[in-house]
Structure 1
């Protein structure tokens, strides 16, 4: 609702100065950002037709009100989902030699996956491969016939994304073969990485400094979180930036997905002013 309020207020202010603008502004609200993502269908419906550049902001719980941060190049990661099924042979827990234990294979796989980032990627590349669920078995005295694992892969570069995918498949195949099990990988590519245009980012940074009266913005905002604004920035040059909205004195100090998340509403007029200045910067004669 904070983003909606900022954009509605921006629309109201733009209507008041529309005669001074040499160009058109398209205001886009963001449907289904947390999933499955609304940007792709909106692009298919023509939201970017005639658009020369795109600018977006995100109120950021990790930054105090009155601060902002942005960088050119990759700023947010691609967000892929993985599901792994390992099939063995069930057996009584007292007779493990009569079965093929998929839990053992899965446990070794979870450990082996941690080597992808630490040993297969250039140390200067950022990535995360996190296994977040592991399900197998019901009874305490039975070796389960199947194990299901799931998690997420986050990368900045497509080359790294494909390398991680290949290494996952290789580890699954190798460990399953070593134990006589079988494994399947379902890899679903999600949002692409969000890449800011250098020229647009420089203008956004200057406007943020001017509005917030800061000599410099906070450095290195990169995060392995994802954002479907990335789809727009793959089609047209643009910039996505973070605007601080944290204020512990107002209890606005919790993370974005925390049940007590809140924003400092003092950040809202700052967001409006930044967007207005950017429009004027680009469209004033």
Structure 2
């Protein structure tokens, strides 16, 4: 199982210098992927801009949106060019993860409909791949189109993955991941896909003396829109070395291909602590 890490682009006070230092350090430590999460109505760095910066200072590590709330981006031609540009700038290291999202405020801010977002995401994925293939308004990709992962908790999200994607992104503990992985395989097979989908898990982490405080402060604010359910994210964060090692083993047993750990602070020292804990996996 590969171990990836997210850029702290969603951490409120993360600076450009910290994001660049984080990208370089993640590659130096041997992590498999450098990902970004997406939320428009939040003081963080835009995901594709962050990945473009990371592409400029790295050479080997994969770059991924996990996930981009793509359906609230109404200009599909522009999105096609942006994603193709990241693929070109990174020399083919980009993975596009998408989902419909659950926050109406992201859609309200862009003037796009919320209740039909799933249908529009399906249409967007078809159009994106057509525009990538045409190459008339995007950088030439040839056969190197980005890998596509589809996230989301619904059955419709799994159908979307089987129709348009290469795998899925699951947020949740190992037990929930194992159940979702079984469902993903069933839907994949039902739609005539050969082999198995790529299975990626995500979870939050913070290490060091302030680990619990960092997790509580960041996640309570980031998930404040969820009301009392925000505490579930706080409680689920991995804040000790043993919790992290237990989670790695749990995801591995559940059939996970890659575990991506999302930081709750932008301090680059977190990467050293994380790498030391999971050194056998890197």
Query: What band does the TM-score fall into relative to the shorter chain?
Result: under 0.3
- Tell me which protein shows more strand as a share of its residues: 1
- Tell me which protein shows more helix as a share of its residues: 2
Larger Rg belongs to = 1
The TM-score, its normalising length taken from structure 1, stands at 0.27
- Return the structure number with greater relative CO, CA threshold 8 A, min gap 6: 1
